[in-house]
Amino acid sequence: MKIKVFGGLVHFKGKRYRAIIATTSQKRVIEIFKNKDIWMSLYEIRNYWTETVNKFEVALALSEPDTIFYTESFSYNKRNYIKLI
């Protein structure tokens, strides 16, 4: 399966973040968040997330597939993403 880079909003730690993740499907996005004890629904992913074309986001996410990167900044070009461990 082809790896895609998905991006959207997520709520955890009492805040809202922009998150990106490179993986094979929207369902896989949910599984990865669930493994980090962050609840997301398929409805949220399908309606509020997109396959990103931002070159920086794509390169970062593809550098570590199945890893969540997030930022508080909604100016996606600031390049201040943090890896969710």
Q: What is the pLDDT of residues 5-23, one digit of tens each?
A: 999 999 888 888 999 999 9
| Cα 27 to Cα 45: distance, rounded to the nearest angstrom | 8
Query: In this structure, how many other beta carbons lie within 10 angstroms of the beta carbon of residue 73?
Result: 12
Residue 13: give the domain boundaries: 4-83
Q: What is the pLDDT of residue 78?
A: 62
Number of domains in the chain: 1
pTM of the model: 0.89
